[in-house]
């Protein structure tokens, strides 16, 4: 496979105008960003304090106090700034920009003269910088701040934060690297890798790309850096305890990425590392590295991904476990992990236009990512299980990471601002172009101006996704190819140009149309949206004898709020007849699914066991989109997989 370069449209050139996603953008503008500003300033009552802004003020000498929060607390500020940057790209806002400028000024005042910028070490561990790359997230924090800096520069043209970040990155590269006298290491939590490629793209300075290549190629080589670093500290970890062996699998450093065949370890670290590697492979034309990323993609998505697009099946280590081990009620499926695979998918698509990447991107976007936020924009899930029973979660320690109601904030608040930056940058994932082709990867209503070779192509997409399978693209004139994704869930499809059906060449899940386009030509894609019962590979033991309901890109679930308690006692009838109804209770325009089912009757005795009897009652099952579950106070149970 040759690496084919195509660029995704810049966010400033795409305006989302969509019945579904525009509502989320409005929530981001009016609720999420202001709410998260209050959160990082410790102004939200009855939630864990963040202390993130206070840490910067203390580091700048403007407040007295101690460092509080996690070692990566700075990233709450960075991700908020990144989401603000995307929001300013979509729509200028003088007040919001002024607030962001003030935060950037504060960050600048906190930065040390030599460029160092990490409040944990500036306040709490002075003089111990770069002594614990395994645990202490310095480079991870630098990466998130770098992503914010690039986004703010692209949104406003202001370089202050980018200059601040470049000074810090330059200092890190002076201390870490392959040259003699430097630390031959890398970060315990990957993130800086993907950020370095973005900084290279923004500045044109190849030293950032070279540093990224070093970090990715050095990672996992023998002798293992993390083990050596641990030994140099007399095996003392950051909590003061002793670890005889570094958990290199957890940290994605068990072997070089080019040699890895399976997704293992901490799932967010994996997603960020894979994203950086995929982008680096594209920029360098490195086929070997791309092939390694593809191998990991295939393993993660074909053998370790939940039907909702979630990743990370075990709470221990917030990690992958092994192929086909996908428990529903114990799953971790962190919001950040799902989002990291959206990033990964986009970078893979830039090298290889294949719907296996965009199909998963779509699945995550409509299901396992936005499920991490309540529809009020103020409450969040860290984990996104596929089955919950509130009493069990509360009484059995193994299940306590999962909840039926979203908290307002977390001490470890990586997920809420990650959602904010994903939603506000959504326009960056819809279209890409190369010298002669426009690719439409997502069915999201939008207006776009795209560069195709030396020409500009304008597109107006009108979409009814995810509730109806019809989308229209109105194109500007010129000679070019238009390629639109045909989702894997679409068993049938029809493509029309100006109302006339056309036979398209379909390659890797994309329908290609090449012609001399007249101004205003319309391409319509119609795909019947039928309710489907999905089954898992029999090797997935948790789902044996069960099905999941899906319709188009949306995965559905059942809640006790609609179906009563004991969801595990419900069984769908053979070949059930489904009824589709518009249901605005949770989300305007949403669709709920109804079907006849049976439910095991409650016993009249409290015996633990008795002889089996066919004692069922008929019920009408109601299923709602998984993304919207947990938004009602009277809900105690939820399940995606249903007995069949």
Q: Tens digit of pLDDT for each residue in 124-168?
A: 999 999 999 999 999 999 999 999 999 999 999 999 999 999 999
543 part of a folded domain: yes
Beta-carbon contacts of 292 under 8 Å, excluding residues fewer than 6 positions away, are 257, 258, 259, 260, 277
Instruction: For residues 424 and 448, state if they share a domain.
Output: no
Beta-carbon contacts of 181 under 8 Å, excluding residues fewer than 6 positions away, are none
Domain hosting residue 476, numbered range: 431-526
Q: 622 in helix, strand or coil?
A: strand
Distance CA 513, CA 524 (A): 12
Q: Cis peptide leading into 312, omega within 30 of 0?
A: no
2 part of a folded domain: no
Q: Are 110 and 122 in contact (CB under 8 A)?
A: yes
Segment 37-62, tens digit of pLDDT: 999 999 988 888 899 999 999 999 99
Rounded to the nearest 10 degrees, the angle between the axes of helix 335-351 and helix 415-424 is 40
267 part of a folded domain: yes
Distance CA 12, CA 366 (A): 23
Q: What is the pLDDT of residue 1?
A: 45
Instruction: For residues 258 and 287, state if they share a domain.
Output: yes
Closest of 493, 570, 553 to residue 524, by C-alpha: 493
Rounded to the nearest 10 degrees, the angle between the axes of helix 267-284 and helix 206-218 is 130
Instruction: For residues 61 and 73, state if they share a domain.
Output: yes
The mean pLDDT of the chain is 95
1 part of a folded domain: no
Distance CA 577, CA 496 (A): 31
Distance CA 596, CA 573 (A): 7
Instruction: For residues 332 and 422, state if they share a domain.
Output: yes
237 part of a folded domain: yes
Instruction: For residues 40 and 129, state if they share a domain.
Output: yes
Segment 315-343, tens digit of pLDDT: 999 999 999 999 999 999 999 999 999 99
Distance CA 538, CA 541 (A): 7
Instruction: For residues 482 and 558, state if they share a domain.
Output: no
**DSSP H or E run through 536:** none
Closest of 245, 236, 138, 222 to residue 186, by C-alpha: 138
Closest of 539, 538, 535, 536 to residue 322, by C-alpha: 539
Instruction: For residues 502 and 554, state if they share a domain.
Output: no
Between 260 and 234, the higher pLDDT residue: 260
- Residues annotated as part of the active site: 318, 414
Q: Are 589 and 556 in contact (CB under 8 A)?
A: no
Sheet of strand 431-433, all strands in order from the earlier edge strand to the far edge: 7-8, 431-433, 437-440, 478-485, 510-517, 505-507
Q: Are 102 and 84 in contact (CB under 8 A)?
A: no
Of 383, 402, 429, the last residue of a domain is: 429
Q: How confident is the model at residue 200 (pLDDT cuts 50, 70, 90)?
A: very high
Q: What is the pLDDT of residue 411?
A: 66
Instruction: For residues 509 and 551, state if they share a domain.
Output: no
Q: What is the pLDDT of residue 3?
A: 67
304 part of a folded domain: yes
122 part of a folded domain: yes
Residue 184 exposed, middle or buried by CB count within 10 Å (0-12, 13-18, 19+): middle
Instruction: For residues 278 and 163, state if they share a domain.
Output: yes
Distance CA 436, CA 358 (A): 20
Instruction: For residues 457 and 376, state if they share a domain.
Output: no
Q: Does the pLDDT value for residue 2 go beyond 60?
A: no
Distance CA 268, CA 333 (A): 10
229 part of a folded domain: yes
Distance CA 225, CA 150 (A): 30
Instruction: For residues 124 and 22, state if they share a domain.
Output: yes
User: Residue 489 is part of a domain; what is its CATH number?
Assistant: 2.60.40.1180
Of 475, 506, 526, the last residue of a domain is: 526
- The average pLDDT across 406-431 equals 86
**DSSP H or E run through 607:** none
The structure's pTM equals 0.96
Segment 458-505, tens digit of pLDDT: 999 999 999 999 999 999 999 999 999 999 999 999 999 999 999 999
Q: What is the pLDDT of residue 162?
A: 98
User: Residue 35 is part of a domain; what is its CATH number?
Assistant: 1.50.10
Residue 86 exposed, middle or buried by CB count within 10 Å (0-12, 13-18, 19+): buried
Of 465, 495, 526, the last residue of a domain is: 526
Segment 383-395, tens digit of pLDDT: 999 999 999 999 9
User: How many independent structural domains does the chain possess?
Assistant: 3
Measured between alpha carbons, how far apart are the two ends of the chain, in Å? 42
Segment 69-100, tens digit of pLDDT: 999 999 999 999 999 999 999 999 999 999 99
Q: What is the pLDDT of residue 54?
A: 98
Instruction: For residues 349 and 400, state if they share a domain.
Output: yes
């Amino acid at each position: 496979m040759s690496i084919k370069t195509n660029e995704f449209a810049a966010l400033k050139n795409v305006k989302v105008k969509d019945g579904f996603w525009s509502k989320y953008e409005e929530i981001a503008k009016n609720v999420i960003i202001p709410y998260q500003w209050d959160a990082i300033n410790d102004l939200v009552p009855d939630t864990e304090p963040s202390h993130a802004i206070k840490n910067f003020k203390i580091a700048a000498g403007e407040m007295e106090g101690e460092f509080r929060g996690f070692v990566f607390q700075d990233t709450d500020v960075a991700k908020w700034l990144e989401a603000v940057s995307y929001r300013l790209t979509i729509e200028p806002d003088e007040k919001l920009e002024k607030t962001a400028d003030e935060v950037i000024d504060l960050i600048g005042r906190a930065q040390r003269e030599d460029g160092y910028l990490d409040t944990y070490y500036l306040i709490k561990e002075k003089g111990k910088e770069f002594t614990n790359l395994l645990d202490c997230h310095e480079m991870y924090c630098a990466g998130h701040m770098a992503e914010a800096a690039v986004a703010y520069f692209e949104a406003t043209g202001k370089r202050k934060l980018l200059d601040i970040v470049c000074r810090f990155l330059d200092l890190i590269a002076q201390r870490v690297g392959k040259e003699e006298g430097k630390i031959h290491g890398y970060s315990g939590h990957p993130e800086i890798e993907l950020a370095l490629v973005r900084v290279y793209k923004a500045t044109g300075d190849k030293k950032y790309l070279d540093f990224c290549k070093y970090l990715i190629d050095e990672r996992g080589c023998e002798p293992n850096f993390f083990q050596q670093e641990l030994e140099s500290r007399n095996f003392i970890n950051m909590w003061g305890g002793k670890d005889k062996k570094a958990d290199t699998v957890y940290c994605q450093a068990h072997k070089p990425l080019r040699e890895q065949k399976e997704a293992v370890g901490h799932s967010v670290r994996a997603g960020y590392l894979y994203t950086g590697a995929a982008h680096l492979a594209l920029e360098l034309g490195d086929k070997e590295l791309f092939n390694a990323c593809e191998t990991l993609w295939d393993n993660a998505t074909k053998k370790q991904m939940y039907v909702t697009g979630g990743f990370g099946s075990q709470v221990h280590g917030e990690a992958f476990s092994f192929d086909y081990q996908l428990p529903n009620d114990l799953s971790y499926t962190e919001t950040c992990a799902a989002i990291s695979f959206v990033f990964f998918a986009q970078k893979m698509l830039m090298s290889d236009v294949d719907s296996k990447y965009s199909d998963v991107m779509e699945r995550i976007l409509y299901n396992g990512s936005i499920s991490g936020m309540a529809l009020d924009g103020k409450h969040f899930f860290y984990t996104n299980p596929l089955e919950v029973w509130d009493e069990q979660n509360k009484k059995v320690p193994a299940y306590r990471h999962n909840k039926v109601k979203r908290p307002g904030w977390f001490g470890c608040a990586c997920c809420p601002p990650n959602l904010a930056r994903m939603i506000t940058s959504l326009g960056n994932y819809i279209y890409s172009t190369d010298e002669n082709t426009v690719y439409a990867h997502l069915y999201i209503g939008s207006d776009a101006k795209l560069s195709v070779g030396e020409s500009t192509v304008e597109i107006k997409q009108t979409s009814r996704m995810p509730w109806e399978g019809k989308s229209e693209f109105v194109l500007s004139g010129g000679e070019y190819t238009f390629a639109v994704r045909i989702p894997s869930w679409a068993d049938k499809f029809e493509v029309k140009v100006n109302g006339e059906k056309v036979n398209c060449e379909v390659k890797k899940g994309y329908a290609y149309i090449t012609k001399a386009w007249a101004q205003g030509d319309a391409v319509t894609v119609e795909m019947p949206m039928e309710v489907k019962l999905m089954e898992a590979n029999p090797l997935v033991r948790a789902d044996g004898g069960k099905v999941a309901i899906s319709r188009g890109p949306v995965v559905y679930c059942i809640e006790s709020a609609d179906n009563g308690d004991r969801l595990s006692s419900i069984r769908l009838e053979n070949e059930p007849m489904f009824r589709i109804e518009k249901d605005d209770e949770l989300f305007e325009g949403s669709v709920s699914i109804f079907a006849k089912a049976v439910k095991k009757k409650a016993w009249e005795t409290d015996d633990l066991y008795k002889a089996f009897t066919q004692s069922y009652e008929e019920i009408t099952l109601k299923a709602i989109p998984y993304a919207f579950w947990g938004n009602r106070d009277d809900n105690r149970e939820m399940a995606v997989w249903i007995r069949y």
